[in-house]
A and B are shown apart, each in its own frame.
Chain A
Amino acid sequence: MPHWFWIAFLIIHLLSWGWFFLIRRDEKAFLESQIWVLGKENVSWVKTKALRLYKLLYSFGLLFVTIFSFILFFFL
Chain B
Amino acid sequence: MRSHLVRLRVLALLWVLALLSACGGGGGGDMGGSGLQCTGSVGGTVVISGRITYERIPHRLDGGLNYANRFDEPARGISVQAISEGDALANAVTDDNGDYSLSVPTGTRLFIRARAEMLRTGTPQWNFRVFDNTSVGDPLYVLDGSLFCADAVTLTRNLHADAGFTSSGNVDGPRAAAPFAILDSMYRAYTKVLGVQPNAVFPALQIGWSPDNVPASGGTGSGVCASNGRIDTSFYTDSTLCVLGANDLDTDEYDDHVLIHEWAHYFEDQFSRSDTIGGPHTIEDRLDLRLAFSEGFGNAWSGIVTDDPAYRDSLGTNQSQSSDFDIDSDPVSNPGWYNEAAIHQLLYDLYDGGPSDDDPLALGLGPIYQVLVGSQRTGVPLTSVFSFLSSLKTLNPASATSINVIASGQGIHGTDAYGSGETNAAGNADVLPVYTALTVNGSAVTRCSTDFFGTYNALGNRQFFRFSASGSGPYSIRAGATAGPLSADPVIVLHQAGSRSDELDDGFAGEAEVLSVDLSTGDYVVEVWDYRNVTSGGGPPDRYCMNVSVSR
Q: Please say whether chains A and B are actual partners in one complex.
A: no
Residues of chain A touching chain B, judged by Cβ–Cβ distance below 8 Å, are none
